[in-house]
Amino acid sequence: MKKIADSIKKSVLQWLNEGLSYRQVANLAEISFGSVKNIANCHEISVPKHRSGQRSVLNNHDRRTINRLVASGAVKSGTVIQKELERTYGKQVSRMTVHRELKKLGFRARRKIKKPLLTKRHQELRLKFANAHRNWAPEQ
């Protein structure tokens, strides 16, 4: 393994500090990728990795909007949220994108608990109790 000249090392460090990738620096300096990484590691320079994959359709503002719509009770389902985002913000998102974001925000689908309405007898008993204890003081 041959020694890399100091002038090449300085050039490598300069290019890394300018934000070039390891591969680009290796091609410019005409040295191996591993040599560039070793030089960077010796001088504690880290090159940020480029994000791969498709960019997110929703930004932080959209996520907060979805959170606010659900938390306030203004909407009941992901489909309604999708239509609201399209109507209000002109944002074209799929139903599954909205459901994924709801899951990330901690919301889960649940059936509403059904509770029976008060019967006539219960209404009368409650009214009777309220009238009997109308003048109660807080310490009683």
Task: Give Cβ neighbours of residue 15 (< 8 Å, ≥ 6 apart).
Answer: 24, 25, 28, 29
pTM, to two decimals: 0.50
Mean pLDDT score of the chain: 88
Look up residue 7 and give its two tokens.
């002038």
Contacts 24+ apart (CB under 8 A), 92-100: 93/57, 93/58, 93/62, 97/57, 97/58, 98/66
Domain boundaries, the chain: 6-42, 60-104
| Weakest mean pLDDT among 2-11, 14-23, 43-52, 105-114 | 43-52
pLDDT higher than threshold 70 for residue 46: yes
State residue 131's pLDDT score. Answer: 92
